[in-house]
Each structure stands twice: as C-alpha cells, then as structure tokens.
Amino acid sequence: MNLPQLEVYAIEKIGRNSAYGYLEQDGTRVVLKPKQEFSDRQVIRYLYEIQMQGIPHIWGETEYEEETYLIFSWLAGEHITEANLSNEQINQAIFAVLALIDRLHVITGMHWFFLDMKPQHIIIDSDGRVSLIDFEHVVVNKINQVSYTGFNQLGLSPIYCSAECRTGQFTRLHHEYALALIWLSLLSKTPIENLNARNRNKLLRKLDLQIKLRIESGLRGEGIRIKSKCSNDNLKNTEKQLNKELSEKTSHNTNDKANIEEETVQNHSYSTLQSTLRADTLQTVQKHMQMTLLKPSNNLICGYKEQRVFECHNSEKQELVILSGIKTIILCKCHVLPVLVDLHLAYFGCDHAASVGSEILQEINKFSGELHSLNLLTKNLASHIVKKYVINDLYISNEYLNLCGFTMNGTFAARQIQEYKSGKFATNSKLSNQVSGLKHKFWR
C-alpha cells in the first residue's frame, strides 16, 4: 500500500534505530522507525488504518538519511519496570496488555503474534493507561499458529522467548510466556536475568495462589489465562475469586481508585464478551469491519477517506460544504469495545472552507482516540467541532456498527444512525430538506 509522504523536522535519534521528530504540517510529535525492519507488512497496513488508544498509529512515511522511515504517533509514558507500581496496579497492567491484544483481534479478525514482548515495549502514562510500542517483530495470521522461519535473524531477546523459538512454530500464547516472566519479575522485584528455575519456584510460593497459578501456566507455555490443570468448576471459581479480590483491593486504593476501577470494569466486560459471544456473529462483525474500514485504499488520509466538497448557495450566497465517507474506529466507554463509525457532516463554509474541512478530519482523528458514550457520540463530536472551529451551522449524520449489543441482548444492529443539527440546519426546514436531498445522493 502507498502511505502518505510527510515532512518531519527536528529529528533526534532514540534507541537503536528509532528517532523522534515533529510533523512539518502541524508540529505534532512523532516517532520514526525504519520500514525495512518490520517483519510483516500487514502489520503496517493495520497500524495505518486503525486508531486505538494504547496502540501506535502510523501517519505516513518519510525519507531520512537515504532510508524510508514509518511515522508513528507519539505514545507518552515510561517502561513498566520504571513506573513504581503497586502489586494491584501490576496485575491490572498485565491484564490491560492482554485486553489490547484481544481488541486488535476483534477489530481485524487476525491473531496478533508478539514475538518480542518485553518490559521496554510496555509503557504506562501518568494516568495509569497501558500502551504497547515497537511492532517491528509482530506477525498477524488468521490461524492461531504461525510458522516463522526467519525468527533467528530477528534479533529477539532470548530471555523473553518461550521454547517455541527453537522450532519456529509460534502459537497465539507465545507472548504470554514473556508476560508471565515480566509479571513475576515485577511482583518479586527481581531482575528477569536472575529468575532461574530455582529462584522462580521460591518466589512463586510467596505470591497469592491465583496469581501463582496463572504465572506457572504462562511459564509452561499454556497462557496466563489458564490457571491450573484442575476441573473446569475450580477454574471458574478461581477466576471469580481473583476478580473479586482485585476489585476489593482496588477499592481501598484511594489515590488510584478511579483509574484502576475503570480498568477493572473494562477488562472484566471484555472477558465476559469473549466467553458469551457466538463465534459466527463475531465473524460477521469482523468481516464487515474488514470490508468497510480496513479495505486498502489510496484515498485514505490519516485513516479517513478523501473528503468531498459540493457547492450550493442559499439566499445569503454561502457555500455549503459536505464531507462524506469519513470512517474510523472508536472504543465505547461502557465496554471498551470497537465501534465502526461512518460519519458525514455538512456546514456553511467561507473562503477557507477547504482548509477547515481538512482540519476537521484531523480533529475527528484525535476525537476517535478516546473512549465515548454511544448515546452521546454524535452530539459530543458536534459540540467539539463547533467550539474548536467556531462553526454556527452544523449537520452531522453518524452511522455505526458496534459490539455493545452483544453484551446486552446477544444481537447487534448493522445500521444504527444518529443525527445532530445546529444553527440554521436545526431551525430552517427548507435548508434541512436541501441537505437531506444531497445526503441521499452523496452519503449513501
């Protein structure tokens, strides 16, 4: 796929081959990574087309020192080993990493294989939000196992790699071995290089039983979601007890209560979704997202389709600007599930109408990076745009597909529409009818 060519200035090296700089167009801080180092070009495509909190977004690419670099969004925070977290916060951070990977699977319908999971690739910001960075050694596949013959040339960190590295056959649980090791290291405050077999067993005995069983399972290559080899009833009881204990402990932490409780609810809701959704219905949603939003297109501008501007005049000779086919993915606030948004808007422009339209697309991009209440999604977006650009007349039609309905009644509506009108669009019926006529021609 062809990525937009962007200009970056004030470039400074960070890490081994990465750098940071600022976009020439608006001064946004970004990260540069060599394109040739990415193991799977599909990952590049997805990171370009998906904008999700906690996952880096690709703005485009640039040429620097005779090499092509991908331009990534800047994710603030510090490495998980440097964040000075309490045990409860450490547990929540590990679950948050799993939730991020699960959401990528739901959105794309592909399994994400993180072959180089390590503490430096997990960062936490000042609000306690977890992000994943460094996707160079990530591979996607529709099946839950992937054969990667070139793994020995990747330069992976052996200490974080499970026994699967010897065979080159990676399962979707591969990264959970590294997470189990990181989890044990953080809880025991022991450097990972000192966690030999004897020390592991000694340190594991000091942990709560539920956490101990999860970590042991991860180190065996069975994943940290699998607690033990006991009966299914015991597994369910252990899961309930763990969630209960984490919730109770979190409620007593007054300083971080709001952030951690919200994360607990989000992760628990997502876990409930995974266990209750019908596989065929989930596949339908994934296919819809693949065909509508994730379909490769040369017209994509920072994740959105090309804007369309149409002219018509009312009695005051104002230009009516219509932006259509703006597609993005947001996460709902209630369950932290992906919502496919198909947005159309109209407003009265002036001499700088085209430039304002371009800026609105960028503002929608920023807006989509946060969690939102679906019943207020269109109204909040309209209010945001009106205040930002002092637009008095605005008409927004927002069609979306979401997964929230699954958790409520086991079904989803493939076409849910919200509309919002302000200014002359709300008071002038003739104007509203005029826009509606254009809507049926251009918006569908």
DSSP assignment of 152-181 equals GGTT--GGG--GGGGTTEEETTHHHHHHHH
Considering only the top CATH level, what class is 8-74?
A: alpha beta
CB 340 within 8 A of CB 330: no
pLDDT at residue 124 in the model: 94
What pLDDT is stored for residue 80 in this prediction?
94
H or E element at residue 373: none
Q: Which residue has the higher pLDDT, 396 or 324?
A: 396
Which positions ≥6 away from 73 have C-beta within 8 Å? 28, 30, 31, 56, 57, 58, 59
Instruction: For residues 106 and 86, give the distance between their C-alpha atoms in angstroms, rounded to a whole number.
Output: 30
Q: Does domain 78-276 have CATH number 1.10.510.10?
A: yes
What are the phi and psi torsion angles at 410 (to 5°)? Answer: 80, 10
Domain 290-442 part of CATH 3.30.1130.10: yes
Q: What is the pLDDT of residue 309?
A: 54
Q: How far is CA 135 from CA 55, 57, 132, in A?
A: 9, 11, 8
Q: Is the pLDDT of residue 301 over 80?
A: no
Q: What is the DSSP letter of 313?
A: B
Going by C-alpha positions, the residue among 247, 227, 246 that lies closest to residue 237 is 227
Q: Which amino acid is at 201?
A: N
Give Cα 280 distance to the centre of its chain. Answer: 23
Residue 53: other Cβ atoms inside 10 A = 17
Provide the sign of the torsion angle of the four alpha carbons 231, 241, 119, 19, taken in this order.
positive
Question: How many whole angstroms separate alpha carbon 148 and alpha carbon 165?
Answer: 9
Considering 60-69, 313-322, 340-349, 383-392, the range whose residues carry the highest mean pLDDT is 60-69
Nearest to 361 by CA among 400, 330, 325: 325
Helix%, strand%, coil% for the chain, nearest 5: 45, 25, 30
Tokens of 372: 């939102």
Residue type, 135: F
CB 128 within 8 A of CB 89: yes
Q: Are 401 and 340 in contact (CB under 8 A)?
A: yes
User: Is the full-model pTM beyond 0.85?
Assistant: no
Counting beta carbons within 10 angstroms of the beta carbon of residue 73, is it exposed (0 to 12), middle (13 to 18) or buried (19 or more)? middle
Say if residue 219's pLDDT is above 50: yes
SS3 187: helix
Least confident of 68-82, 232-246, 412-426: 232-246
The mean pLDDT value for 126-153 works out to 84
Q: What is the mean pLDDT of the chain?
A: 76
At residue 58's C-alpha, the angle toward residues 55 and 64, to 5°, is 130
Name the more confident of 152 and 238: 152
Give the pLDDT confidence score for residue 230 in this predicted structure.
41
**pLDDT above 70 as % of the chain:** 68
Identity of the residue numbered 79: H
Domain ranges of the chain: 8-74, 78-276, 290-442
| Cβ–Cβ under 8 Å, residues 172 and 111 | yes
pLDDT at 412: 54
Is the predicted pLDDT of residue 400 greater than 60, yes or no?
yes
- Comparing C-alpha atoms, which of 122, 119, 110 is closest to residue 42? 110
- Pairwise pLDDT comparison (23 vs 323), residue with the higher score: 23
Q: What region, left, alpha or beta, does residue 428 occupy, with left being phi > 0 and alpha being psi -120 to 50 degrees?
A: beta
Return the CA Rg of the chain.
24
